[in-house]
Amino acid sequence: MVTLTINGKKVKAKENTPLLEITRKMSIPIPTLCYHPDLSPHGSCRLCTVEISRNGKTRMVTACNYPAQDGIKVETHSKRVLHTRRVLVELLLARCPNAPFLRNLAKEVGVKTSPFSAKTPENDCILCGLCVRTCNELVGANAIGFSMRGTRKKISTPFEIVSERCVACGACEYICPTEAIKMEMDRVRKMRTSETGTLRTCRYMRMGLVDFMICSNGFECWRCEVDQMMEDRFGTHPIFALKPAKQKESFLMNGFTFHPELYYSEGHTWCKPMGESIKVGLDEMASLLTLKAETLNLPPVGTPLKKNEVLAEISSSGKKAKIFSPLSGIVSAINHEVVENPALVWRDPYRRGWLILLKPDHPEEISKLLSGAKAKEWYSKQTLNLLNHLVKWASNPSPKGDHSENSSLREIPRGKWEKLERILLKH
């Protein structure tokens, strides 16, 4: 965690959190154009400009992609910031004088007319790139991008020819703040006569959100009940409603399940916040230790645990493995099922195989554990290393190819349990 000052108020935040995320939590209104919480920050419109100072030096940065750092002072509405935002809006207004969204924004920041003028007021595109990032990052189609340079820069399909990658999902049209992108229904309808002749597949299917669905509405989504239901329920385009949920789904890495929403420790435990408590378990790699374990001992409820104190002891054929607590706190519950049947941890490490509930002494310490991209990188390295050992130990590994799917590798041979314990727990 780092401490920074925003508009004179000291705040604590996770290091490198974009300033905009922090200011939004503090309900400080900062206008944005090219920012969307489900997309990577682009920093192109610069409307979210704020002033930061450190060691007496001041500079303007974009809040949507500037990382929180210890000791910086941030001013979100200083004179200089407000002036910069007004000039930016004036420039945008000169480029697209007819875009209603920009006109409203201009009113908000106190701009009546623009002193600038463009030689050829273009279409309504302000080059915020939201459509490009939506198509690339969420839909995964990569059908559009930036082309040309300087004043001729624009959004188009590669080589400005009809893109075969476009699935006509309408996400670019939906996200465009200035309504510069319009779906051309004639082209969309042509999808009915695709080469394969499978015809009329729904946009949910084309986006990979459902396995199979036929469009019975001639691609007129506004007549579609499913579409209406989705919009009523989530108030957004389906790709924005469903993709973030999909991104939280678990997936396999070198044959081991990774849960993106969990916090991981290098001691091979995972943590999941559950209200005031934190659920702690063993990750799938360490769960291998429990497959042939005779006992799994957990501390009694009420035990105060310090970080790195023994949280669980697993024994197998007279050998013992110690699992250390990733956080300090009081044990508020233990999973009796895994005490009676340790192999349950191996069978279902992230759900029924949890170990304890911990009431943490310092809840914020969970943010020091591995999460997000760092956790993914760590998990990937660890699983690859483990997989290499498992392949070496296997009596009959498949000669070539992807070993990660080979479930027989999970059978730890006699005599290797201790070695496995050393690899994972690094004693």
Nearest CB to ligand FES, comparing residues 59 and 426: 59
Nearest CB to ligand FES, comparing residues 37 and 372: 37
Nearest CB to ligand FES, comparing residues 133 and 206: 133
Task: Give the H/E segment covering residue 357.
Answer: strand 356-360
Q: What is the nearest approach in angstroms of ligand FES to the Cβ of residue 374?
A: 24
Q: What is the nearest approach in angstroms of ligand FES to the Cβ of residue 43?
A: 4
Task: Give the H/E segment covering residue 11.
Answer: strand 9-13
Q: What is the nearest approach in angstroms of ligand FES to the Cβ of residue 65?
A: 7
Nearest CB to ligand FES, comparing residues 44 and 134: 44
Distance of CA 280 to the CA centre of its chain: 22
Q: How far apart are CA 244 and CA 304, in angstroms?
A: 37
Q: What is the nearest approach in angstroms of ligand FES to the Cβ of residue 376?
A: 26
Write the CA distances from 271 to 275, 283, 303, 327, 343, integer angstroms: 12, 10, 18, 9, 20
Q: Answer yes or no: are the C-beta atoms of 39 and 138 closer than 8 Å.
A: yes
Q: What is the nearest approach in angstroms of ligand FES to the Cβ of residue 42?
A: 7
Q: What is the nearest approach in angstroms of ligand FES to the Cβ of residue 125?
A: 15
Residue nearest to ligand FES (CB): 64
Residues that bind ligand FES (CB under 6 A): 32-35, 43-48, 62, 64
Nearest CB to ligand FES, comparing residues 129 and 281: 129
Own/partner pairs for 317-324, CB < 8 Å, 24+ apart?
Answer: 317/292, 317/414, 317/417, 319/417, 319/418, 319/421, 321/289, 321/421, 321/425, 322/425, 323/267, 323/268, 323/269, 323/282, 323/286, 323/355, 323/425, 324/267, 324/269
Q: How far apart are CA 191 and CA 288, in angstroms?
A: 49
Nearest CB to ligand FES, comparing residues 34 and 139: 34
